[in-house]
Structure 1
Amino acid sequence: MLLQLLVGTLVSVINIGLHALVTVLAVAIARRAGLQPTRRPRLHLMGVMIATAVVLMISHAFEVLVWAAAYLGLRAVAADSDILYFAFVNYTTLGYGDITPVPEWRLIGPMTAMNGVLLFGWSAAILFEVLRKTLEHLGITEVHGYRSPEA
């Protein structure tokens, strides 16, 4: 059990580092794009948010690949299993249960899910901050009937 926890922690730390790197890049790109002058602020805002979300989704896909590589290296699932699918199901906490790990690696699925939940929450926080900063820069105080408290 200790080995499972150590390996799960190591893979999680690798993914946290990857997500930190993507966060720095996404925030820098969003900041640069968000500060550009525009005559269509709402369209500009949509573009910044879409770009940020796509970058974060690509990051999550790479993080799933890291887990899949770990599963493959550990032989954590039966040889005839779809390892990438298994990694996605665990990382997203979907948990179909149609593929299960071999008994000696049964904690690897929950470790993957814990990592995915953490990183999805982190991505939501990034999206919210990019939205807030872009709205602030563009001087948009009302979006679809919602008026910001600063207005």
Structure 2
Amino acid sequence: MLRQLLVSIAISICNIAIHAVVMDAVLRAARAARERATSHQSLQLIAVMTATVSVLMAAHIAEVIVWSLGYAMVDAAPSGTDLVYFAFVNYTTLGYGDVTPLQRWHLIGPMTAMNGVLLFGWSTAVIFSILQKAWLTGRTNGG
């Protein structure tokens, strides 16, 4: 069990680092976009939010791939398993149950889900913050 937790924690830390770097870039880009006020605030809001969510989705896909690589390194799933699919099902907490980890790695699925839930929550908080700041900027600039 300790090995499962250590591997899962290491992968989670990698994903937290990826997410932190992406969040920094997203927040800087959103701040820069807000500072370039235009007469078309609604178009600016659409552009900022589309870019923000797209970048965050790409970050989550990268994090799922990190989990799938981790699964491959420790041979956590049955032979022939699509590891990216398996990681996506766990990371998103979808939990189809059509693929399960090998018995010796049974904790890696829940640990993946925990990591995904935390990172989705972080993304949601940032999306809300950017939306709120963009909306407030538009209102103070006459939008």
Q: Is the shorter-chain TM-score for this pair beyond 0.5, marking a shared fold?
A: yes
String of CA shifts for 1:48-67, please: whole Å, max 9, x gaps. Answer: 01100000000000000000
Between the aligned partners of 2:104 and 2:63, the Cα distance in structure 1 is 23
CA displacement at 1:44 relative to structure 2: 1.0
1:138 is matched with 138
Alignment of 1:1-151 (within 5 A): 1-139=1-139
Unaligned 5+ runs, structure 2: none
Tell me the amino acid that sits aligned with residue 35 of structure 2: L
- Rounded to whole Å, the distance in 1 between the matches of 2:58 and 2:119 is 13
* Amino acid of the structure 2 residue aligned with 1:133: K
4+ runs of 1 displaced by more than 4 Å? none
Q: How far apart, in 2, do the equivalents of 1:109 and 1:115 lie?
A: 10
Q: How far apart are the structure 2 equivalents of 1:7 and 1:30?
A: 34
Q: CA deviation at 1:140?
A: 5.9
- Size of the aligned set, in residue pairs, is 142
Report the Cα distance in structure 2 between the residues aligned to 1:138 and 1:31, rounded to whole angstroms. 13
Aligned AA (1:52): T
Offset of 1:131 from its aligned partner? 0.9
Distance in 1 separating the partners of 2:108 and 2:86: 11
**C-alpha separation between the residues in 1 aligned to 2:11 and 2:113?**
12
Identity of aligned residues (%): 50
Find the residue that maps to 1:54 and give its secondary structure. helix
For 2:80, what is the secondary structure of its paired residue? Answer: coil
CA distance in structure 2 between the partners assigned to 1:98 and 1:76 by the alignment:
15
Equivalent position amino acid for 1:32 in 2? A
**Residues 60-110 of structure 1: CA distance to partner in whole angstroms, max 9, x if unpaired?**
000000000000011000121111100000000000000010000010000
Q: Is the 8 A contact 1:68 1:84 kept in 2?
A: yes
How far apart in 1 are the matches of 2:37 and 2:12?
A: 39
Q: Which structure's residues are more often helix, by fraction? A: 2
